[in-house]
Amino acid sequence: MRKRSFIGSELFEPLQRWRPGIFFTIAFCVSVIAPGSSALGQSASAEPALIHYDETAHTFRMDGAGVSYIFGMNQNGELQSLYWGKRLRPADPIPQARADGGTSAFDLPVNATPQEFAGWGGGLVVVPDLKITFPDGNRDLVLHYLSHTVRDNTLTISLKDISRNVVVDLIYRMDEETGVLARSARIENRTKLPFTIEQVFAATWNLGSSNDYQLRYLTGRWAGEWNLQQTALHPGKVVLESRRASTGIEVNPWFAIERSSEPDQDVGDVWFGALGWSGSWQINVETNWQNGVRITGGYTPFDFSYDLAPGQSLETPEFYGGYSNAGIGGASRLLHRFELDSVVPQGSHRRLRPVLYNSWEATGFDVNEAGQEALAEKAASIGVERFVMDDGWFGERKDDHAGLGDWYVNSQKFPHGLKPLIGKVHSLGMDFGLWVEPEMVNPNSDLYRKHPDWVLNFTDRPRTEGRNQLVLNLARDDVKAYVYSFLDKLLSENEISFLKWDYNRNWSEPGWPAAPLEKQKEVYVKYVRNLYSILTELREKHPHVEIESCSGGGARVDLGILHTTDEAWPSDNTDPFDRLSIQDGFTYAYAPGVMMAWVTDSPNWMNSRSTSLEYRFLSSMQGSLGIGANLNKWAPEDFAVARRLVAEYKAVRATVQDGALYRLISPDGNSEYSVTESVARDGHEAAVFAFLHSSQKGQPYPQLYLRGLDPSAVYSLHVQEGKLADGTVERASGDYWMHHGVTVSLRGDFHAAFFTLERERPQ
């Protein structure tokens, strides 16, 4: 390994550039790794290697896209965060890890040092990443560096307790395209006796001292999901958590922290993170008295315990973290790119979301062959590509009181099975999708009558129903096998291209009486793992099948479920105005390319609001377009409008679904206006959707200053829907559109406009 030294003014200059990021120690290091080299024997290349190790300073540095993440071993053997922020130059000095001395007897160094992963022991009072009870009563755990390996762009660091053979592997994998870092931990019992894990998180992210941190997170309720919250961080702890055994609706496992007292959409340093876990979870944001922040996340410790026998290990979910210096907007654009390319199945080779039709709001449970075929014909006539039959097709399902668990086709509604309907849908040029809710059972079902012990329950305790249903215990191998086999049969016997996978309640009485007592709480982990494994096995066997994650709306959207599903249903609320803020919130954490948005009936069933068909379409066209209206009630002119708008959507859908999203005006905070702009990945096009709630006091619509364009390229403007001001030019430079802007001419209530800018090829 080559090393270089800096002295005097050479040191000063790079230090100026560090300001956007964060250092956790003031100590300097004079030895750094030369570009393209590595202590681990990797060959030098033109591009800096992704993972550097400096064996003298004992520091690790990961670089990806615009981000550097640096940590090292301090003199105590603890792994200590050093820097996370804007990418540093290859030759920039890396500070050496030095444990903080603390300032008083009440402030032990172990708490003042920003550790990457801390065991509960040695006086730790901040949230530990790992807490273990040993059979001899010892609960002290102090983790020090043991060794590390680099393989396939993955850095694994092993920590070990100072006396016991408990080994923790910390796994780091940085995405080169976005700099998003995936972190997880594996706890291994190498002692001779079992022990109990009482708390384990995936990782700790540390941010250095600053007195103007703002935390953002997403909260919600049924039909009112994805509200962006913002709060200043002060000493103390903010706990974001789901105890529902699934991702949950109240809070989503995502956060962003911005260093600014007046956050701007597209300017400023933002650190963000998201958990890849669909069970109960917790994220703690702790701010210490020096205004340093540590964020721990993973399984919630609430009602958690996991026994490890000698030789066994437990792996945590992944906790993803990223950094952007382009504000919260830049942070979400990075996350979108990461999700679409590296999380959802098929990654960068995935198909764009087809325009789908779903029958739920039109028919409710009242589905049958003739009715569905009639809707399918109408859907095909407007350009729909996927026809989805929702709830009601199976068992004795007439309403939500019966049938869940009995996954045979209802012979009164479909006397010839599903094949005639599927054949009809295919003959109309669409593929076919079906609603299922595999993890649930109605007590009024053959399955429950036969297997009452298959549900989560505590012996001799009530079984609380939600929507008249109970939760099957997927942690049980027999239940897992049943669920896999009925879905495999359904997909093998029918040409089904899509499943809308629903999950319409949370757990109560989370008991697993058939398991040994010490294993019963593992239900939280094993259930979710079995869910993932069913989804993975089904996808392997039926690779053409796509899946939507739905949970009574958006109650199960996270980076874990998105590994095995292609899209998500953000909310049962399909009112196009409410959807503007629901969708706005959703996209802080998740990509428009996975966000399903249906055009439904007016007045809307949920809030009786009346809007035009054009307004409804434009609202839904900001995501992955679907139609959920009762087409039997449409007039011929509605079909004409829908045909035109579906065609317009298809022309821009790659830009909307896969492009870079800019929030020109956020609907947050009851704004009268809402505007999104999506810029195609290759920059050839931008699509702008502008909405007006109602004009007041003759106020003009705010001037729109576009973003993300090539300043010197020429773009031509195409107004697709709505009206721009008279005299709006048709051709101008990127600079013009971004700085002179566009004047939209919207007046009245619930109006919308849609226009595109197309980059002209240089002559």
> Of 102, 221, 93, 261, nearest to 585 (Cα)?
221
Two tokens, residue 756: 């595109």
Contact region for ligand GLA (CB under 6 A) — 102-110, 195-203, 547-555, 727-735? 547-555
Strand-pair partners of 671:
none
CA distance 230 to 215: 6
Min CB(600)–ligand GLA separation in Å: 11
Cβ distance to ligand GLA smaller for residue 121 or 553? 553
CB atoms under 10 Å from CB of 622, counted, come to: 24
Regarding 534 and contact with ligand GLA (CB under 6 A), the answer is no
Q: List binders of ligand GLA among 355-374 (CB under 6 A).
A: 360
DSSP letter (8 states) at residue 417? -
Cβ distance to ligand GLA smaller for residue 260 or 368? 368
Cβ distance to ligand GLA smaller for residue 394 or 484? 394
Identified binder of ligand GLA from the candidate list 129, 572, 578, 614, rule CB under 6 A? 572
Min CB(613)–ligand GLA separation in Å: 21
Min CB(504)–ligand GLA separation in Å: 5
Cβ distance to ligand GLA smaller for residue 569 or 673? 569
Min CB(442)–ligand GLA separation in Å: 12
The set of residues, in sequence order, having a beta carbon less than 8 Å from that of 384 and lying 6+ positions away, is 355, 356, 357, 430, 627, 646
Regarding 575 and contact with ligand GLA (CB under 6 A), the answer is no
Min CB(571)–ligand GLA separation in Å: 8
List 63, 572, 578, 584, catalytic entry: 572
CA distance 218 to 314: 29
Cβ distance to ligand GLA smaller for residue 322 or 554? 554
Rounded to 10 degrees, the C-alpha dihedral 53/283/660/355 comes to 130
Cβ distance to ligand GLA smaller for residue 100 or 572? 572
CA distance 545 to 498: 5
Identified binder of ligand GLA from the candidate list 85, 553, 560, 570, rule CB under 6 A? 553
Min CB(565)–ligand GLA separation in Å: 14
CA distance 725 to 762: 28
Contact 528, 481 (CB under 8 A): no
Cβ distance to ligand GLA smaller for residue 371 or 741? 371
Beta-strand ranges (E) seen in 472-549 are 498-501, 546-549
CB atoms under 10 Å from CB of 153, counted, come to: 15
The set of residues, in sequence order, having a beta carbon less than 8 Å from that of 210 and lying 6+ positions away, is 22, 259, 291
Contact 569, 549 (CB under 8 A): yes
Min CB(503)–ligand GLA separation in Å: 9
Contact 140, 131 (CB under 8 A): no
Min CB(523)–ligand GLA separation in Å: 24
Residue number of the CB closest to ligand GLA reads: 391
Contact 116, 155 (CB under 8 A): no
- Look at strands 79-86 and 624-627 and give their pairing: unpaired
What is the size of the binding site for ligand GLA (CB under 6 A)?
11
Contact region for ligand GLA (CB under 6 A) — 317-325, 548-556, 673-681, 721-729? 548-556
> Of 550, 529, 547, 408, nearest to 477 (Cα)?
529
Min CB(421)–ligand GLA separation in Å: 18
Beta-strand ranges (E) seen in 653-726 are 660-665, 673-679, 685-694, 714-721
CA distance 520 to 359: 40
Cβ distance to ligand GLA smaller for residue 217 or 569? 569
Contact region for ligand GLA (CB under 6 A) — 157-165, 282-290, 301-309, 550-558? 550-558
Cβ distance to ligand GLA smaller for residue 299 or 598? 598
Contact region for ligand GLA (CB under 6 A) — 73-81, 113-121, 401-409, 546-554? 546-554
Q: Catalytic site residue 658?
A: no
Regarding 504 and contact with ligand GLA (CB under 6 A), the answer is yes
CA distance 613 to 755: 17
Min CB(374)–ligand GLA separation in Å: 20
| Amino acid type, 394 | F
Residue 656 to residues 94, 145, 678, Cα–Cα distance (Å): 40, 46, 5
The set of residues, in sequence order, having a beta carbon less than 8 Å from that of 447 and lying 6+ positions away, is 405, 406, 441, 454
Cβ distance to ligand GLA smaller for residue 341 or 572? 572
Q: List binders of ligand GLA among 708-727 (CB under 6 A).
A: none
Identified binder of ligand GLA from the candidate list 268, 433, 552, 592, rule CB under 6 A? 552
Binding mask 390-409 for ligand GLA (x = CB under 6 A): xx------------------
Min CB(555)–ligand GLA separation in Å: 9
Q: Catalytic site residue 572?
A: yes
Secondary structure (3-state) at 535: helix
Cβ distance to ligand GLA smaller for residue 78 or 572? 572
Judged by phi (left if over 0) then psi (alpha if -120 to 50, else beta), residue 86 lies in beta
Min CB(527)–ligand GLA separation in Å: 20
List 161, 175, 502, 575, catalytic entry: 502
Regarding 550 and contact with ligand GLA (CB under 6 A), the answer is yes
Contact 627, 356 (CB under 8 A): yes
Cβ distance to ligand GLA smaller for residue 85 or 585? 585
- Over its C-alpha atoms, the chain yields an Rg (Å, rounded) of 27
Cβ distance to ligand GLA smaller for residue 54 or 361? 361
CA distance 471 to 456: 6
In the numeric block, the tokens 């004992």 are attached to 58
Q: List binders of ligand GLA among 18-37 (CB under 6 A).
A: none
CA distance 485 to 491: 10
The set of residues, in sequence order, having a beta carbon less than 8 Å from that of 70 and lying 6+ positions away, is 59, 60, 61, 62, 81, 82, 83, 84, 88, 94
Contact region for ligand GLA (CB under 6 A) — 193-201, 333-341, 448-456, 549-557? 549-557
Min CB(359)–ligand GLA separation in Å: 10
Identified binder of ligand GLA from the candidate list 23, 69, 134, 435, rule CB under 6 A? 435
Regarding 502 and contact with ligand GLA (CB under 6 A), the answer is yes
Active-site residue set: 502, 572
Question: Footprint of ligand GLA on this chain (CB under 6 A)?
Answer: 360, 390-391, 435, 502, 504, 550, 552-553, 569, 572
